Amino acid sequence: MKLIMLGAPGSGKGTQTSRLKSIFNIPAISTGDIFRNEIKESTELGKKIKKYLDSGQLVPDKIVIEVIRERINQPDCKNGFILDGFPRTLEQARALDEIVKIDACINLSVPKEIIVKRLSARRVCKNCGAVYNLLVLKPKVDEICDKCGGPLYQRDDDKESVIEERFRVYEKQTEPLLEYYKKRIPVITVTCNSVDAPPELITEQIVAGLKKLNLVS
């Protein structure tokens, strides 16, 4: 089962991708995770990527497509995968069509005001990378990671001014993908209108949609 997860930054793509990965035992491929690892390792690619991400811009298609091509050709993807954060442009979608056949697209629809509240409240552990949210998933001790005791921080791309720019870029470049995929493959749209909606509820709706398509039993 080869799936695409679409949605604006902060819509919950990462959370749902992680949950579906566990349910269906297929790898989750996040361009964000790949990029952050490159940045952490201070590779030449990572330095280029950091400049784009810090300013709220998208990483150029040529770079992203090559990263994805290499990843989905790995042995663990032979039985399927979930793409989180790719494709983001029509050019990327067309390139992906030439690489692999996608079975369905999952679209997370979340209002902008909820996304701004959710993302600006996100905190990440500097040591282990654990993710918290000051609205719905607070650490036991303020600004301290429950798992390793490391300090929590706010990512540059989670600051409100950058979120606004990311959302603007999403609307301009990524929303047209919905129309593109609606003409080609099944699209499962799940709407969330609450800041503190339980992720399990969203997952249940996604799984129900996949069952209707006979992609899972």
Q: How far apart are CA 176 and CA 89, in angstroms?
A: 8
Q: Is 184 a catalytic residue?
A: no
* Bridge partner residues of 137 (DSSP): 133
Name the catalytic one among 2, 13, 71, 118.
13
In the numeric block, which tokens belong to residue 156? 């540059």
* 71 labelled catalytic: no
Cα 48 → chain centroid: 20
Residue type, 66: E
Tell me the two tokens of residue 128.
């282990």
Query: One of 21, 48, 117, 155 is an active-site residue; which one?
Result: 155
User: Catalytic residue at 88?
Assistant: yes
The token pair at 212 is: 């209707």
Phi, psi values for residue 82, rounded to 5°: -125, 125
Which entry of 2, 19, 88, 123 is annotated as an active-site residue? Answer: 88
**Residues forming the active site:** 13, 88, 122, 155, 166
